[in-house]
Each structure stands twice: as C-alpha cells, then as structure tokens.
Structure 1
Amino acid sequence: MTSTALLTDRYELTMLAAALRDGTAARPSVFELFSRRLSGGRRFGVVAGTGRLLTLLRDFRFGDDELRFLRDHDVVDAASLAYLEDYRFTGSIRGYREGELYFPGSPILTVEGTFADAVVLETLALSVLNHDSAVATAAARMSIAAGERPLAEMGSRRAAERSAVAAARAAYIAGFGATSNLEAGREWGIPTMGTAAHSWTLLHDTEEEAFRSQIASLGVDTTLLVDTYDIRTGVETAIRVAGTELGGVRLDSGDLPIVAAEVRAQLDELGAIGTRITVTSDLDEYAIATLAAAPVDAYGVGTSVVTGSGYPTASMVYKLVARQGSDGAWVGVAKASTDKASHGGRKAAFRTIVDGVATSETVVVSDGFEQLDTAADHPDGRALQVTFMEAGDIDASYEGAAGTASAREHHLRVREELPVRALALSKSDPAIPTVFVDAD
C-alpha cells in the first residue's frame, strides 16, 4: 500500500491538532464540495473524479513513514500523532454521480463525520475533483461539437504522468471513445488506440518504405500519417501501397477544413471511398465545431482536453456547512464575505425535468438531518445524490473500470436532458438556474 495521507495541505493537520486540543475535534460536522461559479462562462459542468477519490481514500492512512515525517518536521504534536496513527475515515460521503451535470452551488460532494475525520480530506477531494471535472467539462463540450464523430484523447505528453491517466479517464466519462494512454487502459478499462508518429516516417529512407512497413505490421486497416512531407503525394503513396481498402489517413497540419476536403476528393478519385480521415493538430471544441461541415471521420485531441481547454480547474471549494453546537443542536454555517458567500446547511438536490428537459436545479437546505426532502417531495425532479460511503464502508460499484463505464453511461444519458441553449460554446450564464429553498 502507498499511503495517500500526505497528499494534503499542512493546515488541515494543524487545524486538527488545535481541535483535538480545545475539544472540538469530535463535533459532528458536514462538509460540502461545490463550485460557486462555472469556470470560463461554461453553461454546465461535468462531475468527474469521484471513483478515483474513493480508491485513494482506501489508502488514506498514516503509516510509520508518514508519522515520522510529521514528527521530524514538527507539523503536529504528540497527541495528534497518536490520533493519526489509528486514523481511518469512518463517516459518510454522498454526492452527485460521476458523469452528472452540475451548476453553481450544486452540492457535488457531502462529507459527514467528526470535524477531525472530515477536515483532513479537503485537499485530496479538491485535487481530484477540480482536475477531473475541469477535463470532463471540456471533453463534454468537445463531444457535443463532434456530434456522432468519434473522439480520441491523445494528451499524455502534455500533462504530468499521473494527471495524464486521470485526464484520459475524465475524457472517456464525458464522451471520448478511446485514449492513447496505456495505463489508463489498464487501470480503468478505457479502449486504447495509436499507430505511428512522424518519427516513424522520418526513420525510413522513403515515405513509401515507412507505409509498407506499417501495413506489414498492423494490417491494411491501419491509419497512415500522410503529412510528413507533401500531403497530396502522401495520400497517393498510401493508396498505392495499401490499396483502396486502406483503413484511414491522418492529418496533423494545415488549414484542416480545406485540407480535409482536398484529401477526401483525392481519396474518392483514387477509389478509396471507404478510407477514413482523422484530424489532429491542436484541436479544441471551437476547432472541432468549425470542422462540422468538413469530410472528417474522427478527431484526436491532445493539449486542450487534458488542460481543460484553457480552464484547468473547476474552481471547486470544500466548506464546513453544518455542525453540532456545544448544546448538541445542529446549526448551518457559511462564509458571509461579499464575493465568496455560500449557503450553510445540509442539502438535498433535485433537477426539475419538464417534457424531458432540465429547467432548474432545486437545492433544499436544512440545519438538521430529519427535515430534508426526499424524491417523493419532488415528483417532477430527479434526485441527484447517491451514497458513496456509509460508516466508513465504500460502495465499490463506483470504483474501477466498472465504475468508470457506468459513469460514462450516466453522463451520456443525463446530457440528453440539457436545454438546447446549453449546447452552445459561447460564454454565457448557466443553462439552468440553481434555486435554494429552505426545508419545511
């Protein structure tokens, strides 16, 4: 086991130490992970990372090495070290399913336990969901722009090595069909793809030799990269070598709408009417949209998807929203600062659906636990929260390859609920309003 406990900020542990000292550490508390706004004027967000977080929580333990580091660097006192030696999160976690859409104020993740139990999870939860949700939101926009044309994620070399794996998973959940990253394939069950780069062509004395060797290795259904030198010559050579049954050609440069049209015409003239055209070259959702009318069959996206297409974080926060007071009564708590005000209290969330289309997000707020609405109280709404963890036990169905596949299916299903205005790529207000109501 490799511990994940130190993937956290120091102040989580110094707060824990102070709470142990003043007696507030055991206070039952409710933390909430949410986003005050959608990054980049996006019209919706996509939740991703929950399955990864649950897996990381299994290894959130303070072993000898972690405790030694904390002691040697005087991070916390002896009493805190004794507490952390036996630490295991024993509370509950509820929230939006992976692949679900979210809007400003949506209670994406709710963590319930003692203050000491829950506060130390803040940094890890935010690290995972901020990154993965940013990638998934960008990927969903690209998927919408691509329509029925398949998308492959190819951005590993533009991200840190483990971030690349996480990004591939998030993109797959949000509509991409494959990844170039083999670890993502092994770890999460994502289909992998890839053939050859320009270096393969440059390795050989001629482009024809490179194409012949690739076909001999991978078969006629492979995709040949035809823009290392002259594209028209490359296409002619590809069909002469492979025949008209060649699986595909890839374009990685040039004015893609124009080049794709020219290549399609050339392929058809050569009789390769079934040969597919894949385009790459710094694509994002806007470039994909401009190719909607071009004779393109598939897209490969790298940098833009793994970096959230310009917005590499989902701007989520993790806040204490309710706690028991010294008298045992529950009280909602929240920041009141002008630009960072939030809604205190435990919450239940429902998406109102009218004729199959989402019209609003209703968030019911309560200081206590017994007053929250249920699905029966919202016959026109879809309950948005599920239980991931109860009394320290993780629901394994949300983890691993099966959990990833389920998240993808869920996303593609709920995306159909979006109103038409949500599908536009321009900056705007959220596609539906978030309405906060007090519990009866």
Structure 2
Amino acid sequence: MAPDQSAGGPWGPSEIPTTALLTDHYELTMLRAALKAGTALRPSIFELFPRRLPTGRRYGVVAGVGRALRALRAFRFDEESIRFLLETDVVDRPTADHLADYRFTGNIWGYPEGEVYFPYSPLLVVEGSFAECVLLETVLLSIYNHDSAIASAASRMIVTAEGRPCIEMGARRTQELSAVAAARAAYVAGFEATSNLEAGRRYGVPTTGTAAHSFTLLHNSEEEAFAAQLAALGEDTTLLVDTYDLETAVRTGVRLTEGRLGAIRLDSGDLGEVAKQMRALLDELGATRTKIIVTSDLDEYQIAALSGAPVDGYGVGTALVTGSGHPTCGFVYKLVARADTDEPGAPLRAVAKASTGKVSIGGRKYAMRRLDDRGIATHEVIGIGDPPESDHNDRPLLVPFVVDGEIVHGEDLTTARERHRAALAELPLQARKMSRGEPVIETQWIEPDGDVVTEASARTGLE
C-alpha cells in the first residue's frame, strides 16, 4: 500500500478504524449533560494553543497536522463503541442516539505542519456546535502535544548539526506506535531518515540501517562479519567498528573494500576524540571518502559539542523520542466563544476562564507573523475578533483545514519540511542558541478597538 502522506494516516480508505474512543470519559459526560440541558447545539469556537513554551525554549514546531486530520476523518461512533458506552453508563440512550449520527460538520483553521509557534499561537481554531467540537479535544491534544514535542526537539538538533544529516533511531526507547509518529515528526523538522520501517510504510519517511553488535558477535571473527555485511549490502555500507578494537576494525574494513568503504559508525567512548583519531587513521589508509557516523545517546547539546569534530552524521534515539526533556508541549483546548442560543447564525460572544495560572483569552483568533524589511520575524500578532491589519510583508499563519465538515487541507511531508526550513530561516539568529532563553519573538494581541497588548504587559492579567 502506498504511503498516505497527505492525510498522515496509516490506513487505506476501507481499513480506517474508529478513533472516537481515543478520548477522555468527561468529554462524553459533558455532551450527555449538555444535551439534557439543551445547550449542546450552541454554535461555539474552540482553540488549541500553548500558554507558554517549554522552559528555556525559544520557539516550538507544529507537527501532527496530517495525523490529526486523519483521526478526524475516522472519528465515528460505531455500534461496538456505542454498546461499550451504554454498558458502562458513560452515556444514556438519547446521547447514544446522538453519537450514532456524529459527523463533524464545522470548520477548522490551523497553523500548517512545519510552522513554528510561540506562546498563545492559535494553532487550531475549531468552529461548530459545542457537541461537535468538545468531543475532539482529547484526540487533537494527544496528537499535537506528542508530535510537536518531537518536532521541536528535532529542530534544535538539526540546528546544532549545521547541515550534517541526522537519522532518527529511537523506536526501542518509546511505545511502538509513538515511535512511528516520532519518526514522522522528526522528518518534518529536518531529519533525513529513520530506522523505523513502519514509518517508511505509513508515511514515506526514508529508512536506513545496517548492523548491530550482535551481528559481529554472531561470526567467528570481526573480519568474517564485515565480509558478510559487505557481500550482502555492498561497499557503500556502514560498518559498526567498536565491538572489539577500533583501530583493528577500521583497518579491516578499509582493507576488505580497498579503501572504498562507505562509512564507519562509532557508538561508544569520547565520540569527539575518537572521531578525530579514526579520521586520521582513515586518511592515512587512503580511505579519505569514508564517512564517520556517531551514535550513543546523543541530544542537541552533545551534537553541538561535536561541531568541531570530523563527524559526517548523527544517529539520535532516546533524547529525540522523549522530546529532549520536554515530552509534551503543554497545549490546551479551550472554548473561547459561543452563542446564547442554538439558532443558526446566532451571534457569538467571547468567553474565557480566569483560573489562577490557567487563564484563557476569549474571542475568535486570527494570527500573522510580523516581519521587518529584511524578512526577519519580529512579533507573533494575534487579532481578537478580527484579523489584524498587515503591512506589505506580514505573513498570515492560519489556513483552512476543514470547511463545512470536508477536509480541504492535504500536503506531502516534503512540503512541511520545506516550510519548516523557511520558517526557521525567518527567525532572529538568537533562535539558534541552545542556551536557555525566552521566546525569540514576542506575542502581541490586537484588541477589537485596535489597541496593542504585548505578552509582557499582559502577563499579570493572563497568569
């Protein structure tokens, strides 16, 4: 089956299971109570956004859009799901009858995949009845929080790699399906390939891999193992050279290929120092084109520390698939506007919560990236109720994903990768620093009366 990159999903049209129970119990009890109260069909707007970036981060990366739209397409309550909900008294019969006909018929706008984001960026704006929109909260948050955390970590690693390729290889360090999603998110942020074959099948992410230490240990000698690998995979393969003695292994690999060995992989020790020693040895042996790939619990800081070493590529696992210390983005999904009746076209009014430290900002949002005359971003500008006025080069950020219930947004991962490169290049140079810092650009809100409020001046009121 050809990979479905446009919608980001693993299933063919006739194989889509329901995603409706990938949700929290209280989404259904809220619906049950709202149906009984007669408020469930009120026109509403929900917003998915971050209140802040993970501590010390200067920007975030949007990922999971395609997977979320695929999940929306499969969000249906089949007979088995409804039977379970009735048997466990999550819903009553009137609610079950409502769910049997559930289809999202509203509109969704969002930041496209690969875009960067900042505090309070309205990453998704979901418009429909309360009954339609509230049920999507958990599945949207679970996809966005996971995939964007991975993409944000991956982007930092790509920045510190300074053009050297990075390979995702963290499948053994996370839950099996999370590993597939992580490989996809890392690819969006600029990783070249993954070790995960299911990510290749589902999403078309390039896959790569050669051999582990067990392959060397299987054979009677390292030379025998290398010869077997070369016979099967060719001289352009990568030999893992630190099972026994490094220098002996490198000399053996070069001799067997007459200097044409594709690459060696270093997986232990002081990688920077070892890479220098092995580069000198390879050059001495005439294998000047043989590359050096390093692995072993790398993160963005270790990659940065290796910037001066003769390293040609990095394999990253644990740190990547756990968000490099930030496995979630802290996104929330809040009701920001609703009507007082369920009449079609009823006027919406802004609503917001005022909980200490968890304040939301009421009103439908519009967003753009403000750029200076050099095309460098200066602010994240969010209009409340109306689109903010733009000058000649400001860039709108929200694009339509769903119109009247029909998914209208679809793109391949190459487009998302290109978008991320462009968005990252648009940021001030401070965005590339690995030291802890504040968001590299400030968020501004444009109120309905045209007043401008910055995040710094609004912080007391927001938090």
| Both proteins in one fold, TM over 0.5 | yes
Alignment of 1:337-356 (within 5 A): 337-354=355-372, 355-356=374-375
**1:435: which partner in 2?**
444
Q: Give secondary structure in 1 for the equivalent of 2:55.
A: helix
Give, in angstroms, the shift of residue 311 of structure 1: 0.7
Cα distance in 1 for partners of 2:336, 2:283 equals 62
1:267 aligns with 2:276: no
1:199-254 deviations in Å (ceiling 9; x for gaps): 11011110000000000000000000000111111111111122211000000000
Task: Tell me which of 301, 324, 329 is aligned to 1:286.
Answer: 301
1:286-340 deviations in Å (ceiling 9; x for gaps): 0000000000000000111111001100110000011112494321111112311
1:164-208 deviations in Å (ceiling 9; x for gaps): 110000000001010111111111111110001111101111000
Contact 1:350/1:378, CA 8 A, preserved across alignment? no
1:91 aligns with 2:106: yes
**1:135: which partner in 2?**
150
Q: Give secondary structure in 2 for the equivalent of 1:323.
A: strand
1:229 aligns with 2:276: no
CA change 1:40–1:205 in 2 (3 A) is farther
Give, in angstroms, the shift of residue 40 of structure 1: 2.8
Cα distance in 1 for partners of 2:298, 2:89 equals 48
Give, in angstroms, the shift of residue 377 of structure 1: 3.6
**1:381: which partner in 2?**
394
1:335 aligns with 2:353: yes
Alignment of 1:151-230 (within 5 A): 151-230=166-245
Q: Which amino acid aligns with 1:345?
A: G
Q: Following superposition, which runs of at least 4 residues in structure 1 exceed 2 angstroms of deviation?
A: 326-329, 376-380
Alignment of 1:407-418 (within 5 A): 407-418=416-427
Contact 2:352/2:359, CA 8 A, preserved across alignment? yes
Give, in angstroms, the shift of residue 116 of structure 1: 0.2
**2:160: which partner in 1?**
145
Task: Tell me which of 347, 357, 365 is aligned to 2:376.
Answer: 357
**2:126: which partner in 1?**
111
**1:246: which partner in 2?**
261
Contact 1:212/1:242, CA 8 A, preserved across alignment? no
Cα distance in 1 for partners of 2:258, 2:328 equals 46
Name the TM-score, length of structure 2 as normaliser.
0.91
Q: Which amino acid aligns with 1:338?
A: T
Percent identity over paired residues: 58
1:422 aligns with 2:431: yes
1:386-406 deviations in Å (ceiling 9; x for gaps): 0010111012524xxx2x221
Give, in angstroms, the shift of residue 380 of structure 1: 3.5
Q: Give secondary structure in 1 for the equivalent of 2:410.
A: helix
Cα distance in 2 for partners of 1:274, 1:94 equals 48
**1:394: which partner in 2?**
407
1:125-162 deviations in Å (ceiling 9; x for gaps): 00000000000000000000001100100011111111
Cα distance in 2 for partners of 1:38, 1:329 equals 33
**1:369: which partner in 2?**
none
Contact 1:45/1:101, CA 8 A, preserved across alignment? yes
Cα distance in 1 for partners of 2:137, 2:392 equals 34
Q: Give secondary structure in 2 for the equivalent of 1:128.
A: helix
Cα distance in 1 for partners of 2:383, 2:392 equals 14
Q: Which amino acid aligns with 1:364?
A: G
Cα distance in 2 for partners of 1:379, 1:136 equals 30
Contact 2:366/2:387, CA 8 A, preserved across alignment? yes
**2:455: which partner in 1?**
none
Q: Give secondary structure in 2 for the equivalent of 1:336.
A: coil
1:65 aligns with 2:98: no
Q: Give secondary structure in 2 for the equivalent of 1:171.
A: helix
Cα distance in 2 for partners of 1:47, 1:219 equals 39
1:304 aligns with 2:319: yes
Cα distance in 2 for partners of 1:40, 1:278 equals 31
Alignment of 1:364-375 (within 5 A): 364-366=383-385, 372-373=386-387
Cα distance in 2 for partners of 1:377, 1:237 equals 63
Q: Give secondary structure in 1 for the equivalent of 2:28.
A: helix
Task: Tell me which of 230, 251, 257 is aligned to 2:272.
Answer: 257
Alignment gaps of 5+ in structure 2? 1-15, 450-463
Give, in angstroms, the shift of residue 22 of structure 1: 0.5
Cα distance in 2 for partners of 1:51, 1:40 equals 27
Cα distance in 2 for partners of 1:242, 1:45 equals 44
Q: Which amino acid aligns with 2:381?
A: T
Aligned residues: 430
Cα distance in 2 for partners of 1:64, 1:242 equals 61
Q: Give secondary structure in 1 for the equivalent of 2:108.
A: strand
Cα distance in 2 for partners of 1:349, 1:384 equals 6
Q: Which amino acid aligns with 1:157?
A: R
Contact 2:375/2:393, CA 8 A, preserved across alignment? no
Cα distance in 1 for partners of 2:314, 2:258 equals 23
Contact 1:38/1:430, CA 8 A, preserved across alignment? yes
Q: Which amino acid aligns with 2:384?
A: V
Q: Give secondary structure in 1 for the equivalent of 2:207.
A: coil
**2:461: which partner in 1?**
none
Contact 2:216/2:243, CA 8 A, preserved across alignment? yes
Cα distance in 2 for partners of 1:86, 1:32 equals 24
Q: Which amino acid aligns with 1:433?
A: E
